[in-house]
Amino acid sequence: MVRLLGCLAGAALALAPGSLSAQEAPADPGSPPAGERRYSIGLLPALDYSPDRGFGYGVVFQLDDKRGPDYAPYFLSHRLLLQRTTKGIADYQYRLDSKYLLPADLRLTLEARYQVSRLEPYHGPGGAQTHYDQDFVDEDSPLYRGKYYYAYDKRYFLLNAVVQGPLRGQSLRCLLGLVVLHTKVDTVDYTDFDEDPALDSLLARQRDLVGDELDGGSENGLMLGVVWDRRDNEVSPHSGFWTEGLVRWVPEGLGNDFDYTSFTATHRHYLPLLDDLTLAVRASGRVMSDGAPFFTRSRLDGSFNTETVVGGKKTVRGILWQRAVGDDFLYGNLELRYRFARLSRTGYLAASAFYDLGRTFDEAPPAALFDRGGDRDRWHQGLGAGLRVALHDTFVVALDVGLAVDPDLDGPGPKLYVGLDWLF
């Protein structure tokens, strides 16, 4: 897999960054000096892997309009991802980001995403509150219940339009966003996978618990927040910090099938230990009111993009994807990053070691639920190491390997993750 990562990096170096134009004599001070590239192009096969999502294949294209040294890290960035995976996921994403496109120092981030996940994880409410047993999905076990026992069918369309304005310079900003979200869900139909239709799933057993939520629905709303950004570099930070607090309000009306409010807070801190050695720390948590459906509790709001929690390649590596999901949660990451070789002025090779943990704080599910676990969740922990190939300062290819500290709780064996960017 390391060899595969090297091949991908080599292919991308041939494609990115590319130059579409360079002025011989710039007419304005914001234009790049003669000979410097105005556009940075990243074009790669979207080849990634995680044990939860399977092998992903497709294409990722990133076009950054650098425009000049006055526009850091870029004037305007476009990223397009078209990908499918071997575990039934089709993911189509577009993201636009610019701090300079709108007047009055407003930053615009637009995210549009359509995803089909035929095997979305479902381990029940909370984490350790609902019993997890690897034997239930092991075809050689006498306790076998179905290969997709911990899965369900989820399809959603998401549109996030976020505008950030300065409160005190560019470092402290307020945020206003519009969120359009529509989701369809269903239990797994084993006949779609040429399996015995009599096989079971946990969500089918808990149908009475989720009730009408199995019909899916709309969750359109507003997002308000504050962002404090003092990083020295947005994509590959070495020093500084980044903090945000976000409130998402899904009201009655607006065509909504649910109404609730959630508050999410995240802090990232970067401590330079040596010129090429960085200690990166992140903590994130959420509290959510009653009324949110089970399929949206795994969604993690962000001012730049949205992810899922707790578990998997974007939050707690080494444990099962979405292993711990609830209204209220907390997770953290501690990562040591060492840039051991330079590839170009802004490109480099880096190694990392990490420790991740997270948990929910929800009440235990009703005692009548099947496979009842503990009364409270406990910390889910993962350890591991990684490698990064930065083709330039805004395009990073990533490899991480994580291992659950408690494999009985969070899944056995090492988990391999291949993708893009630093975790945070």
Please name which of 3, 77, 88, 79 lies closest in space to residue 46, comparing C-alpha atoms. Answer: 79
Mean pLDDT of the chain: 88
Give the percent of the chain with pLDDT over 90: 66
Omega of the bond leading into 103 within 30 degrees of 0 (cis): no
Between the CA of residue 100 and those of 77, 104, 202, what are the distances in Å? 11, 9, 48
- CA-to-CA distance for 264 and 300, rounded, in angstroms? 8
What value does the mean pLDDT take over residues 281-305?
Answer: 92
Between the CA of residue 423 and those of 252, 337, 420, what are the distances in Å? 35, 11, 9
In eight-state DSSP terms, residue 364 is P
Residue with more model confidence, 27 or 334: 334
SS3 402: strand
pLDDT tens for residues 364-406? 766 555 566 777 899 999 999 999 999 877 789 999 999 999 9
pLDDT score, position 371: 61
Distance of CA 409 to the CA centre of its chain: 22
Radius of gyration, alpha carbons of the chain: 22
Q: Which residues contact 205 (CB under 8 A, 6 or more apart)?
A: 370
pLDDT score, position 372: 64
What value does the mean pLDDT take over residues 98-123?
Answer: 93
What value does the mean pLDDT take over residues 292-317?
Answer: 90
* CB of 367 closer than 8 Å to CB of 308: no
* CB of 320 closer than 8 Å to CB of 134: no
Query: Which domains can be identified in the chain, with CATH numbers?
Result: 2-24+32-420 (2.40.160.50)
Q: What is the 3-state secondary structure (H, E, C) of 99-160?
A: CCCCCCCCEEEEEEEEEEEEEEECCCCECCCECCCHHHHCCCCCCCCCCCCCEEEEEEEEEE
What is the value of pTM for the model shown? 0.83
pLDDT score, position 235: 85
The two beta strands, 221-229 and 172-187, are antiparallel
pLDDT tens for residues 181-238? 999 999 999 998 889 999 989 999 888 888 889 999 999 999 999 999 999 988 899 9
pLDDT score, position 100: 92
pLDDT score, position 284: 96
